[in-house]
Structure 1
Amino acid sequence: MTNPTTMKAWLYSQTTGGLEKNLTLTTTAPAPPALKNNQILIRVLTAALNPADYKVPAMPIVNRLLISKPASPCIDFAGEVAATGAGVSEFTTGQIVFGDLGLPTKFGTLGEYVVTVAENLCAVPEGVEVDHASTVGVAGQTAWQSIAPYVTAGAGEKVLIIGGSGGCGTFAIQIAKALGCVVTTTCSTKNVEFVKSLGADEVIDYTTEDVVGVLKAKGQVFSHVVDHIGEPADLYRESDKFLLPGKVFAQVGANWMPLFAVRLLRPAFLGGGRRRYVPLFWKSSKEDLGKVGELIKEGKVKVVLDSVFEFEDAPKAFEKLRLGRARGKIVVHVAERE
């Protein structure tokens, strides 16, 4: 096909007051430019939202220097290959694929067309729904990368997942179970039965229990910790009481972004932790995309959709995401499959 010159897209030029308050829908946005040799043009069917989609554009350096405006937000998608560069042989026009853009860009996945490279893509496995595949890019890969390198598959190691009901947490519980781990997670009262249904072996209700107290009472039994929340504040400081020597405390998310630096740099004698602290930032990987996709195909990982929004309601999707109470993933339908 001839590359389109215009497309429908949600655009923002600033983030003051919140990204969702600055989104404007247009049907005549400029489409991505002509493809380079290794690039692939995707017609987006479904975009999945992540907290980074509104947090990163709000960072002054990113907003001013790294993303030219007006821009479309979001980097996760499932869609249809619309065209390929001359050097691309792995994918063909019409193929249904899923993945991510690697980094925030001017042409995000809340636009009808995006450009990416083969390393950021996999074919949607047979039997996997497009909406489900769209969620793997950041959340699915982050969950895999926060657990798989740190545990021995099939060894029955005990893993602690702080925040089990969110977008990454729902993937993390199931991936840990697929790798043969025994999973303890935290959530609020309303989500206890939900995370158990995903495979959690033990649930600590942070609204009624002292999370750190419960963990310390267990002793050093955990082989790995994944923290999606950053709370309780003293969790990392006290982690040597429940995390085995030589094991890792992985920080995936936090309600307060400077927490990463505080926990990483504060020495133990000033109230810091005594276990290895790893701030974990997702990295796009075709291999990891494929592994999570296969787990979904095999039924070992069930994608949990909190809500599905139509394209015209994308700002409402961001409003819900910002509340921080989503149970699973939030997705937006961008286009119909042709």
Structure 2
Amino acid sequence: MTTQQPPTTMRRWQIAAPGPFTSTNLTLATVPTPSEPLKPNQLLVRVAAAGINPADYKLPGLGLVAKAVVAFPKTPGMDFAGRAVAVGSGVADIQPGDAVLGRMDPLGAQGSLGEYVVADREGCAAIPGQVDFEQAGVVGTAALTAYQTIAPYVKEGDRVFINGGSGGTGTYGIQIAKALGCRVTVSCSTAKIELCKSLGADEIIDYKTSDVVGKLKEEGKVFSLVVDNVGNSPPDLYKASDDFLKPEGHFKFVGGAVSFAQVRSLVPSMFLPGFLGGARHKFEAFMTKNSHDDLSAVAAWMAEGRVRSVIDSSFGFEEADKAYERLKEGSAAGKIVVRVAEKV
């Protein structure tokens, strides 16, 4: 089922080959609009806004490893929001013309920085009418990651520590944990304290001026969940988690830029038994999975005003390369959005 016939060609950002994002390797190209018949579980979406993530440039930067797992030329971007143009025969809850948000397969050649995308229904959800495309366009990866690292592991009244509360995943994490009735402690820099407060954080540890691990140890074994969005920084965070996590608590490692010192600290904590210096809690590295139900839950909270996207900056479609330059600076508060189309 379709609304109207899309144009025969479209614009799409492409990475020509594995390697860094440079002016010669990341280009805006004109390509044929997807025209193959949709599979039963697929949607053709005209993209209005796309969110960007560090994985967009880190994966192609892996060189031969990237070439082995990803088809090139590759369009970067995972997150998107737009309007369904056509839906497969097995898609019953989204109709042509509906506003949708979603997340593309990070290993697929087709990413969200194109005027049209073919997306799987499992990675999509309908957007409630009062949520705009820029707010919805950055949800896919960061909000889904926050939801999946928090919602299954907590109940109302639990205490949660989020290491890195001001980035894309952290800003959603604070709000999702609060929506679930948790008491939330976060770490952030001095400049981001007011942002974290505005999102509902109950306690904030300024890592610029305080000993994060020391502050957590002072609380005792009270946390049901630790979500590490930074990458074991401070380097003893995971090893020390036995001193502030409940015995049945979880340590979820989302990631970040991990240094050699951090890896050196992690390895013995992960693999040695407790009496030899290892941590007693399991180190749970996390991989985000597309989920229609989870995205729908986040979208519903957004409609209720309980969760919002924190937008650091917004760029036009022709400025996607500049959006990645901003992302690589590593200081964004919240998400960076690319406006693919002004009207869809």
Q: TM-score range with shorter-chain normalisation?
A: over 0.9
The alignment partner of 1:238 has SS state of helix
Of 272, 281, 304, the match for 2:287: 281
The aligned residue for residue 77 of structure 2 is 74
Q: 2:19 — aligned with what?
A: 16
Q: Which runs of 5+ in 1 are unaligned?
A: none
1:98 aligns with 2:101: yes
* In 2: Cα distance, 1:215 partner to 1:70 partner: 46
1:13 touches 1:70 (CA, 8 Å); kept in 2?
yes
For 1:263 and 1:292, locate their aligned partners in 2 and report how far apart those are by CA, in whole Å: 37
Residue by residue, what CA displacement relative to the aligned partner does 1:23-52 show, whole Å, maximum 9, x if unpaired?
Answer: 1112x2233350333221111110001111
Q: What residue is the counterpart of 1:262 in the other structure?
A: 267
Q: What aligned pairs does 1:86-235 form with structure 2 within 5 A after superposition?
A: 86-152=89-155, 154=156, 156-230=157-231, 231-235=233-237
> Shift in Å at residue 65 of structure 1?
2.6
Aligned to 2:31: 29
Q: Shift of the alpha carbon at 1:72?
A: 0.8
* Structure 2: gaps (5+ residues): none
CA contact (8 A) 2:317 2:338 kept: yes
Residues 41 and 114 of structure 1 are in contact (CA less than 8 Å); yes or no, is this contact kept in structure 2?
A: yes
TM-score by length of 2: 0.91
The SS at the match of 2:67 is helix
Quick one: which amino acid aligns to residue 239 of structure 2? R
Deviates more, 1:46-55 or 1:7-16: 7-16
* Residues 3/88 of structure 1: CA separation in 2 closer, same or farther (3 Å cut): farther
Match of 1:47 in 2: 50
- When residues 37 and 3 of structure 1 are mapped into structure 2, their CA distance, relative to the original with a 3 A threshold, is farther
Q: 1:87 to 1:274 in 2, by over 3 A?
A: closer
2:62 paired residue among 49, 59, 62: 59
CA distance in 2, matches of 1:209, 1:20: 41
CA contact (8 A) 1:135 1:331 kept: yes
Secondary structure of the residue that 1:288 maps to in structure 2?
helix
Worse overlay, 57-66 or 47-56:
57-66
Instruction: Give the CA RMSD over aligned residues.
Output: 2.1
Percent of pairs identical after alignment? 47
- CA shift in 2, pair 1:103/1:16, >3 Å: closer
Counting matched residue pairs gives 335
Shift of 1:204: 0.5
Please name the residue that 1:248 is paired with: 250
Distance 1:264 1:149, change over 3 A: farther
